[in-house]
Structure 1
Amino acid sequence: MKITVDIESTVPMFTQLMMQIKQAVQKGQLKAGDPLPSIRQLANDLEVNSKTVAKAYRLLERDAVVQAKGYRGSFIHPDALANCTFDVNAWANEQATEMVTALRKAGVTDPEIRIAFTNALNKPLGE
């Protein structure tokens, strides 16, 4: 599998990386347990900042497409094929829309909703 990035594209490079890895999983080019290049190696190969590759890997790990195994590296997750089609952004938008609709029905104003969301975003996880 060859990974490339288009620096002229309006699509962020980390998103391009994520899309290509997901497509490779869906096409069977990458299978569960297959190793991925190290962050440093892929960044060097693509001539991009290692933080770009790290962000893509981190988001793929969040989506259970990639599995990090510490110093051994990153591998394709056992459930990657099933998880490639899940769109976390669409899900988040759906959840937010449902919440806003419920709050509006309860009579909460848009400025009050914005303040509530801002307060929720500023709270540490778990509070």
Structure 2
Amino acid sequence: MITIDLDSPEPLFNQLMTQIKLAVQQKNLLPGDALPSIRQLATDLDINAKTVAKAYRLLERDCVIESKGYRGSFVHSEALNNLDADIKKWLNEVIAQDVSRYREAGATDSEIRIVFQDVLSGNKQSIVSNDTKQTEE
């Protein structure tokens, strides 16, 4: 049974994903098992259908579930193996596209690296001061 905590600071779609992944890990959901429809689960949990759709979309991206159109969504045949999906591959593709755009705009690898490090560390002050230094030069 899937439950969510409406008072939790964790986003609802994330709670839903965690619950489904846990059910797969505990073998309460097996490969090929049907999941409730988006509309049905949203109604059962009293949440927006878009929230359920987002969770399902991300679970499908990670090959934990698979959508079969109007037939519904099902636990992926390799769900247990895919729970630790290689997000590095996806990140690599997305970041490579971004870095390419930054280079085309004239940013150096050093500038890109510094900004990435600042963003990852949450150091917004450093980003602002770097922007200020560049405009002063």
Q: CA RMSD in A?
A: 3.1
Q: CA deviation at 1:86?
A: 2.8
Q: CA deviation at 1:108?
A: 2.3
Summarize deviations over 1:3-53 as a string: whole Å, max 9, x none: 111011111000000011011101110010000000000000000000000
Which residue of 1 is the match for residue 2 of structure 2? 3
TM-score in terms of structure 1 length: 0.72
Q: CA deviation at 1:109?
A: 1.7
> Any conservation in 1 of the 2:63–2:85 contact (CA below 8 Å)?
no
Aligned length: 106
Unmatched tracts of structure 1, length 5 or more = 115-127
TM-score in terms of structure 2 length: 0.67
Which residue of 2 is the match for residue 28 of structure 1? 27
Which residue of 2 is the match for residue 44 of structure 1? 43
Larger relative CO (CA 8 A, sep 6+): 1 or 2? 1
Higher helix share: 2
Q: Percent identity of the aligned residues?
A: 56
- Find the structure with the greater CA-based Rg: 2
Q: Extract structure 1 runs of 4+ deviating beyond 2 A.
A: 85-89, 110-114
Unmatched tracts of structure 2, length 5 or more = 117-137
- 1:1-127 matches, within 5 Å, as 2-86=1-85, 88=87, 92=91, 108-110=110-112
